[in-house]
Structure 1
């Protein structure tokens, strides 16, 4: 009985501490003590309040309206939201580049060399996240894979095309590339032919996403990976032969 009573008392004590922290969370202020600062940041990292002054922030706020402190990224998983782009396979590449450059001009670590170590750390994290988002969203294949992942359909290395006819087509295409050797014109022709297939697949993937045909999308995205592999192979050979245009 004594053991049960001790456990119960400890539980009541811990519960009172948690309630006390909750009641005072809105007035927590960081000070110069490193431990308290890290504790404060950890408490507010995923709340919609400024980690530094505790003032409520807008959903898209990069900086606090009151103290001008750089805020933690409010979104990390959905890379479209990271760059405030529409969640769609069709992408305005110019708008994407402008959004990327604008955000990096505001939060790049070089801008925070004279700020606190906390803001420098947030800047490094945010800048890295923006780079990741841009690198993925600017590439059709990676963008399609990310969209599938957001729909709970993440592709992995085990996802293959179970279509003998298609696999034979890929083998034949690879053989054509190998047989072309260092024939620049033949390689260019193969490159252009392959690029047309890629363009058509990307159009089909766009339509698949619009109609929410997930299985067709997955199949076409996997096919796209094959043709992009051929694309990269031909491009590498041409560059080695001095053809860069």
Structure 2
């Protein structure tokens, strides 16, 4: 934030710097621009995962289970599976970033989006109707 490292900081200076940075990076300034890149790598999209057929089959199977009539045992099983997969992918993404493998991280993040979508569907299914 471009302030002195101290417990006692100038709150007005900090607020001015914060607002200046907020204006500089506000989403409205980037609405018509192409996606931002990190070291030449565009943000991950679901279609970028170059997913192998086994991964896609796993996603399809979970989607099929979620489409079945509500069954608390199956929903609990899916919830556990999603949590385990998200934790696993988070570890893999962390490792990819640490070894500066941005393409690998991008593919893993795309896979994580699939599981985030499944989690949203699961939450919607658990809401009483």
Partner of 2:58: 169
Query: How many Å apart are 1:152 and its aligned residue?
Result: 4.0
The aligned length equals 112
Task: Tell whether 2:12 aligns with 1:63.
Answer: yes
Tell me if the contact between 1:63 and 1:70 (Cα under 8 Å) persists in the aligned partners.
yes
Higher relative contact order by CA 8 Å / sep ≥ 6: 1 or 2? 2
Distance in 2 of aligned mates of 1:186 and 1:166: 20
1:81-103 superposed Cα distances (whole Å, 9 cap, x missing partner): xxxxxxxxxxxxxxxxxxxxxxx
Name which of 79, 84, 100 aligns with 1:191.
79
Structure 2: gaps spanning 5 or more residues: 4-9, 28-35
Partner of 1:23: none
Distance in 1 of aligned mates of 2:60 and 2:124: 18
Q: Secondary structure at the match of 1:71?
A: helix
Task: Tell whether 2:125 aligns with 1:234.
Answer: no
Tell me if the contact between 1:191 and 1:235 (Cα under 8 Å) persists in the aligned partners.
no
Query: How many Å apart are 1:184 and its aligned residue?
Result: 1.2
TM-score under structure 1 length normalisation:
0.39
Structure 1: gaps spanning 5 or more residues: 1-57, 77-124, 133-147
Partner of 1:75: 21
TM-score under structure 2 length normalisation:
0.69
